[in-house]
């Protein structure tokens, strides 16, 4: 089973700042990595799939990059609604696995 | 608009059973792979099970294999998760999620989610 690591567990930013989140895989997942956003008491929402493809309706301020074992989610300018928990997920090997999440909170 | 609505959660004693349901609308359900993903209180996401479009192929996480059964009724646009032999560590919000697909096939990603149903296992 592929283990995904997201560190640190919490990042603090001010609105308008650029946020960069990291996800590392225990072995190569090629580009088969997705990112999800989850706000309190809400279901997760797919943001990015296959490392760099935005899902339907996702604003352009969200972008993803990386391949192999190291991936990045970038939020170019944080809006108030972007403060949430972000999870990465790999689909390269069965079973699909998620990272533990990074919480983006307000500084 | 795609919508998924789960039901069937509740408080159950260890060793008990529940049947979770997920009613879908706003998309062609019979063309879509469906999944269950759970989240223990204050914890991260864990994939639980997947069922193919026709129901002929099913997949389970090792943690639930032999205790949980996924099924679907395409005439009712509904997917089910029968959960048996429940343990305290099965306590979680159970989300129904649609599998991402395109013209080339389907993928182990989850592009639409319901709001979840809470299963609490406690005596």
Give how far A15 is from chain B: nearest CA, Å.
25
- Angular region, B116: left φ>0, alpha ψ -120 to 50, beta rest: left
How far from chain centre, in Å, is Cα B74?
A: 15
DSSP lists the bridge partners of residue A66 as: A71
Taking the C-alpha atoms of residue A52 and residue A41, their distance in angstroms, rounded to an integer, is: 27
Interval A89-105 mean pLDDT: 96
The two structure tokens encoding residue A80: 């108030």
64-123 in chain B: CB under 8 A from chain A:
95, 100, 107-116
Percent of chain B with pLDDT over 90: 94
Give how far B55 is from chain A: nearest CA, Å.
19
Mean of per-residue pLDDT scores for chain B: 96
Q: What is the pLDDT of residue B70?
A: 98
When scoring B96, B108, B116 by the number of chain A Cβ atoms within 10 A, the one with the most, hence best to mutate, is: B108
63-82 in chain A: CB under 8 A from chain B:
none
In this predicted model, what pLDDT tens digit does every residue of B28-74 receive, in sequence order?
A: 999 999 999 999 999 999 999 999 999 999 999 999 999 999 999 99
């Amino acid at each position: 089973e592929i283990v995904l690591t997201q560190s640190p567990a919490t990042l603090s930013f001010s609105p308008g700042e650029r946020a960069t989140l990291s996800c590392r895989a225990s072995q190569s997942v090629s580009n088969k990595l997705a990112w999800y956003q989850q706000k309190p008491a809400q279901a997760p929402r797919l943001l990015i799939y296959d490392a760099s493809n935005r899902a339907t309706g996702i604003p352009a301020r969200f972008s993803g990059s990386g391949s192999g074992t190291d991936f990045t989610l970038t939020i170019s300018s944080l809006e108030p609604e972007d403060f949430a928990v972000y999870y990465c997920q790999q689909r390269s090997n069965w079973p699909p696995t998620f990272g533990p999440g990074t919480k983006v909170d307000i500084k | 608009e795609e919508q998924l609505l789960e039901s069937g959660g509740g408080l159950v004693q260890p060793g008990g059973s529940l049947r979770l349901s997920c009613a879908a609308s706003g998309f062609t359900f019979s063309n879509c792979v469906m999944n269950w993903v759970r989240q223990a209180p204050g914890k991260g996401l864990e994939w639980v099970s997947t069922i193919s479009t026709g129901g002929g192929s099913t997949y389970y996480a090792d943690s639930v294999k032999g205790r949980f059964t996924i099924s679907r009724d395409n005439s009712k646009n509904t997917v089910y998760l029968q959960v048996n032999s429940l343990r305290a560590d099965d306590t979680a919000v159970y989300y129904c999620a649609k599998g991402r697909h395109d013209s080339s096939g389907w993928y182990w990603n989850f592009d639409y989610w319901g709001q979840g149903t809470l299963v609490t296992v406690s005596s």
